[in-house]
C-alpha cells in the first residue's frame, strides 16, 4: 500500500497543516490501495504564494530553457511508465492495456509535444504603430478529474509550463496517487521551486480556496457541469480567467449509406472504453429508421462479446467503475431508463456473473429511446448507450444538437464530403469523421454547457497568455 503523507509545495515535500489522511480505494477489490495527505486552506495559501513568488523568474526564462524542462519531464515520466500504469489501474480500475496506451503513453506524448510550443510566447505581431506581444497569464489553479487523471492533468500542466505560468495542482481525491508520482518526477528534473505545487484534497477544503484566492489569475477545471458552475461562481469576485472542460452527451450520427458492421461496433467501443467514464463518449447513437433494428442487433451482439472483469486480466474490455458512488449513480440512470419505457437490449441492473466484489457494471444498451428521455438528456458517465431512430438527416441534425452539451460528436457516411458537411452543422468542439481517431495536437473543448476554452496544441497554449499592445 502506497502512503503519501506530505504535499509538494515550493520545491519541497512538506507536512500539511492538517493531520487528516484519505483512503484511496481500489474499485476492483474494494480494498484500500493507498493513503494520501489532505490539504486545507492554509496549505492552499502556502502553495499559491509559492507559485506567486516563482512567477516573475519563471515567466522570464527562455523558450529553450522551458522546453528543456518539458522534455526532461517527459523522459522522467517515460522512465516511470510501468509504475504509472499500475498506479492508475489500481486507483481507478482502468484495464492495463487502456491504462498504458491512453492513460499514460498518450499524455506523455502530449507533454513532449509542448516543448516546441514554448516559442509561442516570443512571437509578436506588428500592427501599424503597435506591436502585439504575449505574456503569461500568471498563477494558475488546476482542478483535475478522476477518469483520465494524468491525461487531463498534463493537458493543463504542459501548456502552462510552455507559456511561462506557475501553478497549483489539485488531483481528484478519488485518484490522487498518480499525481504524487508526477510530483516526484518534477522534483527529480529540478524544476525551479514554486513553479509546480501539489495540494491534495476535496472541493470545499481545497478547490474552493483555490478558486477564490486573490493571488490566482486563472482556474482550469475538468469535471461535471454542476461543479463547473460552482467554480465559476467562486472565481467571479476576483474576475479570474476560467477554463472549463465539462460534461457531454455526444451524438454519433450514422448515415443511411454507412457500413453498419464497421460503424456500430466502433460506436459501442467508444461508449464502453474506460467503463463508460469518458466525457466525450458517443452515448447517443442516431440511426436511420430504415436500418434501425439491424443496427440494434449488431450493437447487442458486439456488446455481449465484451468481457467485464478484473482490469489486470488481458481479455477484460471493461473494468469496474471508479467508485461505489459512481456505480450507484449509473444504476440509478438504468432504472430511470426502464421506467421511462426504453427497451433494454442488453445489460441492465444485474451484477456481472462471477464478480462478487468490485464496482462492476454490465455494459448496457437501450433502444427505442426518445431524445426527451432522461437517459438521452443527462450524462450518465457509465457504460450505457442509447440508440435513437431518425427519419431523415434534417431530423438527425436536430436531435444531435438538441442537448445542453456540445463536447464531441461523430458522423459516419461512405461519402466523406457529405459526412464533413453534416459535421459542420453539429454544435460541438470536436466532430470525428467516420473512423477518425484522437489527435493530441487538435484543440479540445466544448460548446454550451460542455465548457469554454480549449486544451492541447497551439490553441491550448493560447489560453495561458495575456495579450499586450505596445503602441508607439
Q: Which residues are catalytic?
A: 245, 279
Closest CA relative to residue 171, chosen from 3, 5, 38, 2: 38
- Residue 393's Cβ-side half-sphere holds a number of Cα atoms within 13 Å equal to 14
Task: Please name the residue that has the C-alpha cell 523522459.
Answer: 75
The DSSP secondary structure of 293-358, one letter per residue, reads: HHHHHHHHHHHTTSPB--TTSTT-SB---S-HHHHHHHHHHHHHHHHTT-EEEE--SSPPTT--SS
The whole-angstrom separation of Cα 28 and Cα 22 is: 18
Residues 6+ apart with CB under 8 A from 223: 143, 145, 245, 246
Strand pairing class (364-367; 384-390):
parallel
Q: Tell me the β-bridge partners of 126.
A: 131
Closest CA relative to residue 244, chosen from 159, 347, 142: 142
Q: What angle do CA 432, 438, 444 make, to 5 degrees?
A: 80
Is 111 within 8 Å of 75 (Cβ atoms)?
no
Closest CA relative to residue 61, chosen from 70, 48, 49, 50: 70
For residue 81, how many other CB atoms are within 10 A of its CB?
A: 14
Is 200 within 8 Å of 172 (Cβ atoms)?
no
Q: Which phi-psi region, left, alpha or beta, contains residue 223 (left: φ > 0; alpha: ψ -120 to 50)?
A: left
The whole-angstrom separation of Cα 405 and Cα 80 is: 36
Task: Please name the residue that has the C-alpha cell 451482439.
Answer: 301
User: For residue 397, which phi and psi values (nearest 5 degrees)?
Assistant: -65, -40
The whole-angstrom separation of Cα 432 and Cα 413 is: 11
Closest CA relative to residue 44, chosen from 7, 12, 3: 7
Is 194 within 8 Å of 54 (Cβ atoms)?
yes
The whole-angstrom separation of Cα 456 and Cα 109 is: 11
Cell numbers given for 414:
461512405
Closest CA relative to residue 113, chosen from 381, 460, 349: 460
Distance from the Cα of residue 78 to its chain's centroid: 21
Cell numbers given for 134:
504575449
Amino acid at each position: 500500500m502506497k502512503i503519501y503523507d506530505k504535499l509538494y509545495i515550493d520545491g519541497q515535500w512538506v507536512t500539511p497543516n492538517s493531520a487528516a489522511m484519505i483512503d484511496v480505494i481500489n474499485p476492483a477489490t474494494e480494498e484500500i490501495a493507498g493513503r494520501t495527505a489532505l490539504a486545507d486552506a492554509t496549505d492552499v495559501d502556502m502553495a499559491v504564494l509559492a507559485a506567486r513568488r516563482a512567477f516573475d523568474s519563471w515567466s522570464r526564462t527562455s523558450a529553450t530553457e522551458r522546453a528543456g524542462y518539458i522534455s526532461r519531464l517527459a523522459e522522467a515520466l517515460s522512465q516511470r511508465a510501468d509504475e504509472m500504469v499500475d498506479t492508475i489501474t489500481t486507483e481507478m480500475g482502468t484495464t492495463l492495456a487502456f491504462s498504458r496506451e491512453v492513460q499514460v503513453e498518450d499524455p506523455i506524448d502530449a507533454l513532449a509535444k509542448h516543448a516546441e510550443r514554448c516559442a509561442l510566447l516570443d512571437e509578436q505581431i506588428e500592427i501599424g504603430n503597435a506591436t502585439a506581444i504575449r505574456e503569461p497569464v500568471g498563477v494558475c489553479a488546476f482542478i483535475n478529474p478522476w477518469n483520465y487523471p494524468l491525461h487531463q492533468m498534463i493537458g493543463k500542466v504542459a501548456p502552462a509550463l510552455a507559456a511561462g505560468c506557475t501553478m497549483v495542482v489539485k488531483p481528484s481525491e478519488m485518484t490522487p496517487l498518480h499525481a504524487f508520482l508526477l510530483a516526484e518526477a518534477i522534483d527529480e528534473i529540478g524544476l525551479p521551486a514554486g513553479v509546480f505545487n501539489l495540494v491534495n484534497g476535496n472541493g470545499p477544503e481545497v478547490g474552493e480556496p483555490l478558486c477564490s484566492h486573490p493571488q490566482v489569475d486563472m482556474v482550469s477545471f475538468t469535471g461535471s457541469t454542476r461543479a463547473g458552475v460552482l467554480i465559476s461562481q467562486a472565481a467571479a469576485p476576483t474576475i479570474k480567467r476560467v477554463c472549463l472542460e465539462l460534461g457531454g452527451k455526444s451524438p454519433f450520427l450514422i448515415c443511411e449509406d454507412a457500413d453498419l458492421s464497421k460503424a456500430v461496433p466502433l460506436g459501442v467501443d467508444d461508449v464502453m472504453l474506460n467503463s463508460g467514464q469518458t466525457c466525450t463518449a458517443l452515448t447517443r447513437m442516431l440511426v436511420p429508421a430504415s436500418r434501425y433494428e439491424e443496427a440494434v442487433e449488431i450493437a447487442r451482439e458486439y456488446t455481449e462479446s465484451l468481457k467485464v472483469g478484473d482490469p489486470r486480466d488481458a481479455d477484460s474490455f471493461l473494468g469496474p467503475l471508479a467508485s461505489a458512488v459512481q456505480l450507484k449513480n449509473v444504476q440509478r440512470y438504468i432504472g430511470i431508463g426502464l421506467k421511462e419505457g426504453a427497451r433494454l437490449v442488453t445489460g441492465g441492473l444485474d451484477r456481472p456473473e462471477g464478480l462478487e466484489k468490485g464496482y462492476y457494471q454490465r455494459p448496457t444498451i437501450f433502444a427505442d429511446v426518445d431524445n426527451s428521455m432522461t437517459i438521452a438528456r443527462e450524462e450518465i458517465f457509465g457504460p450505457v448507450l442509447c440508440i435513437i431512430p431518425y427519419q431523415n438527416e434534417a431530423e438527425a441534425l436536430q436531435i444531435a444538437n438538441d442537448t445542453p452539451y456540445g463536447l464531441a460528436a461523430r458522423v459516419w457516411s461512405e461519402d466523406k464530403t457529405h459526412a464533413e458537411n453534416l459535421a459542420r452543422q453539429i454544435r460541438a468542439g470536436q466532430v470525428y469523421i467516420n473512423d477518425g481517431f484522437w489527435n493530441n495536437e487538435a484543440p479540445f473543448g466544448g460548446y454550451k454547457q460542455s465548457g469554454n476554452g480549449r486544451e492541447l496544441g497551439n490553441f491550448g497554449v493560447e489560453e495561458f497568455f495575456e495579450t499586450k499592445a505596445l503602441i508607439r
